[in-house]
């Protein structure tokens, strides 16, 4: 399948640019030049430090901020068109709800806006609230919701009407570890059902765990874009873990990099060509090889390196 076939793309952003102007006439170029294509049925991550332009890019795509320049398409339609809007679900960075409503009332309200037929409002609202772990809070007033509960409600709201494209601005924000895992699983379920997900995130582990592709934004421009595996694969290196040895045999120490020892397990990386020698040497020394796998850089390290290269520290 060609990546250029237009029906292959769920989201297409081309040459997005945004200059904010204050009342005093000051200008801020929040987004300089961003192009992103998200294939149907994939999960795409948008990463970048605070102020990189993630939220502004998503808001332009949703028509919530007027772009200075750029083309924005959802499922082949102009992103601002009613056709496109009906097919999108959105979790804003700071979801706002009328606090005097109960969770169910809020879901009914947003469900009606999303075009869910009246007779299906209650069942869909209840089902989604259960899916985000709010089954016990259906009739609770939102003024009593914790930060994480409101975030869960925001995610449930984004899924009303079973949108084909779901855009989530920092879905893990404010969630406890179980909540974060739930959201990861939810995104994987959405993808399995053919839904396209575009999310922004600071949770690098979340992005690593679910995203097919990642775009890294830095100062309003795309700093990198790739399959997560390709972004992180350290070419020519293999990661090895072993235990049962007090020190690394000489043949291993001579070629090993990034050596770490914790508890009883050694972890290090070696050139691909040395794997056989290394495994034999550990074996001869009476040790046990626990794992041999392609070396991957953590997204954290990658990110730090990228920003350092740009002469910038991670905030
Ligand atoms: N309404 C606005 N008016 C003026 N400047 C703005 C406005 N909204 C955002 N900005 C500026 O645009 C830049 C990009 O902001 P944006 O919210 O898109 O970043 P972000 O990548 O989402 O950051 P974060 O990780 O903190 O959410 C920032 O410098 C910010 O100060
Ligand atoms: Mg943001």
- Residue 158: the pLDDT is 97
In this prediction, residue 312 carries a pLDDT of 55
Residue located via tokens 């102009």: 78
Which residue ranges in the chain fall short of pLDDT 70?
Answer: 1-7, 311-315
pLDDT for 243-266, tens place per residue?
999 999 999 999 999 999 998 999
From 28, 66, 94, give the residue whose CB has the most ligand 1 atoms within 8 Å, as the site to mutate: 28
CA atoms within 13 A on the CB side of 117: 2
| The listed CATH number (3.30.70, 1.10.760, 1.10.357, 3.40.390) that belongs to domain 235-299 | 3.30.70
Q: Render the burial of 66-98: b for 16+ CB within 10 Å, e for the rest.
A: ebbebebbbbeeebbeeebbebbbbbbeebebe
Phi and psi dihedrals of 306, rounded to 5?
-60, -45
The Cβ of residue 157 has, within 10 Å, a number of other Cβ atoms equal to: 26
Ligand 1 atom nearest to CA at 31: 14
Residue 226, both tokens:
């790739």
Rounded Cα distance between 14 and 21, Å, is 22
* pLDDT for the residue 5: 47
Q: Which residues contact 265 (CB under 8 A, 6 or more apart)?
A: 241, 242, 243, 290
Domain boundaries, the chain: 6-230, 235-299
Q: Is the CB of 51 under 6 A from ligand 1?
A: yes
**Cβ–Cβ < 8 Å for 132, 178:** no
243-246: long-range contacts, CB 8 A cutoff, minimum separation 24: 243/287, 243/288, 243/290, 244/286, 244/287, 244/288, 245/282, 245/285, 245/286, 245/287
Fold of 6-230: Rossmann fold (3.40.50)
At 311 the pLDDT is 64
């Amino acid at each position: 399948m060609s990546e250029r076939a237009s029906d292959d793309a769920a989201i297409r952003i081309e040459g997005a640019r945004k200059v904010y102007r204050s009342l005093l006439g000051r200008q801020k170029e929040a987004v300089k030049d961003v192009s992103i294509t998200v294939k149907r049925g994939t999960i795409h991550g948008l990463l970048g430090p605070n102020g990189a332009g993630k939220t502004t890019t998503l808001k332009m795509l949703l028509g919530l901020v007027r772009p200075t320049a750029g083309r924005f398409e959802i499922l082949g339609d102009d992103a601002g068109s009613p056709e496109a809007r009906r097919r999108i679900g959105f979790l804003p960075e700071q979801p706002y709800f009328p606090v005097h409503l109960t969770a169910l009332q809020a879901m009914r309200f947003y469900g009606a806006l999303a075009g869910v037929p009246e007779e299906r409002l209650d069942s869909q609202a209840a089902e989604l609230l259960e899916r985000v772990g709010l089954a016990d809070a259906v009739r609770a007033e939102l003024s009593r919701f914790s930060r994480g509960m409101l975030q869960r409600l925001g995610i449930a709201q984004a899924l009303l009407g079973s949108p084909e494209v779901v855009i989530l601005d920092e879905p893990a924000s404010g969630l406890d570890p179980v909540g974060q895992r739930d959201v990861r699983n939810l995104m994987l379920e959405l993808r399995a059902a053919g839904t396209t997900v575009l999310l922004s995130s600071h949770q690098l582990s979340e992005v690593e765990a679910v995203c097919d592709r990642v775009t890294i934004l830095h100062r309003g421009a795309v700093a990198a874009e790739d399959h997560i595996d390709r972004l992180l694969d350290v070419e020519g290196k293999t990661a090895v873990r072993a235990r049962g040895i007090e020190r690394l045999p000489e043949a291993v120490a001579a070629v090993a990099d990034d050596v770490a020892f914790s508890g009883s397990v050694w972890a290090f990386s070696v050139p691909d060509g040395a794997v056989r020698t290394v495994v034999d040497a550990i074996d001869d020394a009476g040790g046990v090889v626990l794992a041999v796998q392609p070396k991957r850089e953590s997204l954290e390290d990658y990110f730090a390196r990228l920003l350092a290269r740009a002469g910038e520290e991670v905030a």
